[in-house]
Amino acid sequence: MSSEDAAASDPAGGADTDADHENALQDVIAVDPDDTEQGTVNRLDAHTGDGIRHRAFTCLVYDGEGRILLAQRAPTKRLWDGHWDGTVASHPVEGQSQEDATEQRLEEELGITPDQYDDLRVTDKFEYKRYYPNEGVEWEVCSVLKVTLDDTSLDPDEAEIGGMLWVDYDHLHEHPALYRQLRLCPWFEIAMRRDFS
């Protein structure tokens, strides 16, 4: 893993100075660099100060034409609000597999149900750490999952998703300057760079 990959952010939410924030009521799985569990930690604690390394995932959602679905993070998100993700990202809870956690978030955020795909799989894993100015930090061992939709019907949750855009995945990778105005999430940029290396 390069030093770039080891520098990164929290897909699912992030830090808050307010102990009443919803993240203060949740736990994430602390891990070592090899993704071995080290117990659970408060999600808010994991995303403040210098952070605590924890387990996360990002899922890249495609259609049958090789396009990827970019989902814009809602403006209420604590970290990387308004940025574009490819496509959903979050954290599994204790005892939950990456596949099960991903299946849950696909349905919660986008209304994508398991009968719309049959190829959900883990394709990569990397560690990264990114600071979001004045708000918090993401320090994650992030698994990358991919899925291709047979049925592209979507029912996004407006509390999670600000916008959606299907784009040609190869074109996005080959011409990043053309998409700069979208402000991509750092974990997605890392996942995409590694996918083409």
Task: Going residue by residue through the chain, which has 197 residues, state the pLDDT in tens, using 9 for 90 and above.
Answer: 433 333 333 344 443 344 444 555 789 999 999 999 999 999 999 999 899 999 999 999 999 999 999 999 987 787 778 899 999 999 999 999 999 999 999 999 999 999 999 999 999 999 999 998 777 899 999 999 999 999 999 999 999 999 999 999 999 999 988 998 899 999 999 999 999 86
| pLDDT number for residue 24 | 56
Annotated binding residues, written as ranges, equal 47, 54, 91, 109, 138, 140
Q: Rounded to whole angstroms, how far apart are CA atoms 186 and 8?
A: 7
Name the nearest CA neighbour of 58 among 120, 126, 142: 142
For 46, 104, 175, the CA distances from 57, given in Å and listed in that order, are: 15, 12, 25
User: Contact, 138 vs 187, CB < 8 A?
Assistant: yes
pLDDT the model gives residue 22 = 52
Strands (E), 133-182: 136-148, 161-168
Strand, coil or helix: 148? strand
Model pLDDT, residue 138? 92
| Strand-pair category, 161-168 with 88-90 | unpaired
Which of 99, 140, 174, 189 is flagged as catalytic?
Answer: 140
Q: Which structural domains are found in the chain, ordered by start?
A: 22-195 (3.90.79.10)
Binding region for Mg(2+): 109
Known catalytic membership, residue 22: no
139: β partners: 129
Locate 147 and state its tokens.
Answer: 């899925």
In Å, the largest CA–CA distance within the chain is 45
Task: List, as residue ranges, the binding site for Mn(2+).
Answer: 47, 54, 91, 138, 140
